[in-house]
């Protein structure tokens, strides 16, 4: 259930293992929602959880700033959004998020994300070698750059911790940063330092996912696009089917009748929408949608636009070169399932791009986009077998809650879940859910 990058990679891995697989997706094609125009990074080095000791104070400083990197819509929390209803899901999620901000929890979550990221980057290489998929991928590494001394200082400890866990992220000075990415020379006087992870990558998640669909079809995977999932049908701790309804074409009547699909096992990979489907079965998933923004600009001067994928930690933005375009993405807005573009936040993206790269890209014809990232309070995704208060549901599997790192963690999550369904121990040391 779900044809984003997580769902499609899972289907491909299961087909590789010999399963017959059907993928159900409401959209007319794969990767048209959260995977459509994300930041384009395979970033093991971007594993510092949003929930860490410094975040609550930053969030308070950002209150009232419409272009803040992290924006909570407090009107939803206090029932002042016009409907006078309190967003209970956001309240619960926010309280859980605050608990995860302790140093101990933040470190434990960082460990989980680095382990999964390293494994997933390896599996992506395997998939690329097996399929020959082209998706504007670059293997030039990822650089975090800093224009604020306090932000740079706070990056040292996580960098050293990641090194201990096997991630090749290292601290570099401004001179080396300019050598590695000459496009930063224009802001050389503003830089205070950087970190660099040579083995991290970048590439277009949508292109990858849609190409993998074609490879999966050749292995016999069926894709039911334009099919809305209504609900799961369960008897006790066993899923008996999933009720779906074909999305009617505009101006066509009557609406097609719902139908039931049955299988031996079911994988829930619906991102932010996963909790809505799981809740009637008593499965509580601590996932809330975080609206992220991106802008795609045409490159005008190739020499002054970056090839190394960049992370602008102070502004919580990432920059990735995708062919002759530059993708800029980031920020998080907690405002339910709203996907409307906010002009203020769009302008903030362009303003920072101009500050860093000047007129190297065409900012007049930017393509803006928003997507709902499925955020857990810990930033750690939920992978494994579904459970409720009665115990394990014997044939429902979860691969969801990847937040800002869905593209980074997708391939490793998919292969690990394949092993779980096969009854094998996954190759990565990770806190999977619902296992013995």
b/e sequence 377-401, b meaning 16+ C-beta within 10 Å: bbbbbbbbbbbbeeebbebbbbbbb
* Strand, coil or helix: 330: strand
**Quick one: pLDDT at residue 360?**
97
149 token code pair? 């001394």
Closest CA to 175 of 198, 160, 159, 191: 191
Query: At a CB cut-off of 8 Å and minimum separation 6, what does 294 contact?
Result: 37, 38, 39, 327, 328, 329, 330, 349, 368, 369, 370, 371
Strand bridging mode 325-334 / 317-322: antiparallel
CA gap 146, 174 in Å, rounded: 9
SS3 content of the chain, % helix, strand, coil (to 5): 35, 25, 35
**Under 8 Å between Cβ of 374 and 287:** yes
**Under 8 Å between Cβ of 277 and 232:** yes
Name all contacts of 170-176 with Cβ < 8 Å and 24+ positions apart: 170/195, 170/196, 170/197, 171/195, 172/143, 172/196
Q: What are residue 235's phi and psi, to 5 degrees?
A: -125, 105
**Quick one: pLDDT at residue 84?**
55
Query: At a CB cut-off of 8 Å and minimum separation 6, what does 58 contact?
Result: 70
Question: What are the residues facing 24 on neighbouring strands?
Answer: 224
CA gap 233, 246 in Å, rounded: 17
CA gap 287, 375 in Å, rounded: 5
**Under 8 Å between Cβ of 24 and 227:** yes
**Quick one: pLDDT at residue 307?**
97
**Under 8 Å between Cβ of 117 and 404:** no
Query: At a CB cut-off of 8 Å and minimum separation 6, what does 406 contact?
Result: 4, 5, 6, 34, 35, 38, 205, 271, 373, 374
**Quick one: pLDDT at residue 71?**
84
DSSP structure string for 126-146 = HHHHHH---S--B-S-EEEEE
**Under 8 Å between Cβ of 261 and 242:** yes
Within a 13 Å sphere around the CA of 325, how many CA atoms are in the beta-carbon half? 18
Q: What are residue 332's phi and psi, to 5 degrees?
A: -145, 130
What distances in angstroms separate CA 343 from CA 113, 303, 346, 369, 408, one per listed residue?
33, 29, 5, 11, 28
pTM for the whole structure: 0.96
**Under 8 Å between Cβ of 315 and 332:** no
Q: Where are the beta strands (DSSP E) in 259-390?
A: 259-261, 266-268, 288-299, 309-312, 317-322, 325-334, 361-375, 382-388
**What distance lies between CA 174 and its chain's CA centroid?**
29
Q: Cα angle at 398 between 414 and 290, to 5 degrees?
A: 95
Please give the chain's pLDDT, 436 residues, in tens: 999 999 999 999 999 999 999 999 999 999 999 999 999 999 999 999 999 999 998 888 887 788 888 888 766 666 665 555 778 899 999 999 999 999 999 999 999 999 999 999 999 999 999 999 999 999 999 999 999 999 999 999 999 999 999 999 999 999 999 999 999 999 999 999 999 999 999 999 999 999 999 999 999 999 999 999 999 999 999 999 999 999 977 766 678 899 999 999 999 999 999 999 999 999 999 999 999 999 999 999 999 999 999 999 889 999 999 999 999 999 999 999 999 999 999 999 999 999 999 999 999 999 999 999 999 999 999 999 999 999 999 999 999 999 999 999 999 999 999 999 999 999 999 999 999 7
Q: What are residue 375's phi and psi, to 5 degrees?
A: -95, 130
* Strand, coil or helix: 306: coil
């Amino acid at each position: 259930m779900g044809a984003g990058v997580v769902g499609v990679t899972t289907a491909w891995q299961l087909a590789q293992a010999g399963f017959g697989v059907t993928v159900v997706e409401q959209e007319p094609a794969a990767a048209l929602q959260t995977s459509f125009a994300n930041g384009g990074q395979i970033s093991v080095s971007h594993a510092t959880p949003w929930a860490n000791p410094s975040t609550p104070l930053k969030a308070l400083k950002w209150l009232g700033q419409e272009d803040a990197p992290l924006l909570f819509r407090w009107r939803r929390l206090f029932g002042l959004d016009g409907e006078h209803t309190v967003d209970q899901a956001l309240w619960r999620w926010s309280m859980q998020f605050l608990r995860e901000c302790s140093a101990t929890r933040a470190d434990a979550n960082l460990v989980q994300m680095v382990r999964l990221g390293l494994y997933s980057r390896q599996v992506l290489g395997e998939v690329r070698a097996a399929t020959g998929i082209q998706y504007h991928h670059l293997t030039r590494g990822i650089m975090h750059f800093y224009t604020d001394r306090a932000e740079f200082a706070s990056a040292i400890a996580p960098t050293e911790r990641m090194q201990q866990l096997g991630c090749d992220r290292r601290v570099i000075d401004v001179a080396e940063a300019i050598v590695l990415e000459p496009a930063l020379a224009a802001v050389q006087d503003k830089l205070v330092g950087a970190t660099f992870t040579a083995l991290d990558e970048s590439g277009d998640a949508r292109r990858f996912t849609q190409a993998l669909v074609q490879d999966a079809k050749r292995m016999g995977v069926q894709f039911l696009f334009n099919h809305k999932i209504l609900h799961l049908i369960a008897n006790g701790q066993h899923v008996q089917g999933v009720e779906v309804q074909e999305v009617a074409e505009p101006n066509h009547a009557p609406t097609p009748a719902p139908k039931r699909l049955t299988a031996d096992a079911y994988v829930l990979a619906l991102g932010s929408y996963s909790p809505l489907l799981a809740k009637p079965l008593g499965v509580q998933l601590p996932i809330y949608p975080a609206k992220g923004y991106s802008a795609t600009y045409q490159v005008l001067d190739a020499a002054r636009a970056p090839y190394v994928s960049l992370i602008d930690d102070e502004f919580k933005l990432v920059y990735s070169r995708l062919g002759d375009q530059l993708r800029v993405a980031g920020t998080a807005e907690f405002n339910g399932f709203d996907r409307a573009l906010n002009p203020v936040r769009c302008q903030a993206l362009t303003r920072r791009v101009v500050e860093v790269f000047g007129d190297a890209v065409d900012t007049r014809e930017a393509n803006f986009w928003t997507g709902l990232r499925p955020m857990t309070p810990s930033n750690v995704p939920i992978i494994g077998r579904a459970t409720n208060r009665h115990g394990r549901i014997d044939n429902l599997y979860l691969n969801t809650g990847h937040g800002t790192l869905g593209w980074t963690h997708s391939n490793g999550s998919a292969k690990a879940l394949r092993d779980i369904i096969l009854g094998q121990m996954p190759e990565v040391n990770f806190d999977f859910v619902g296992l013995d």
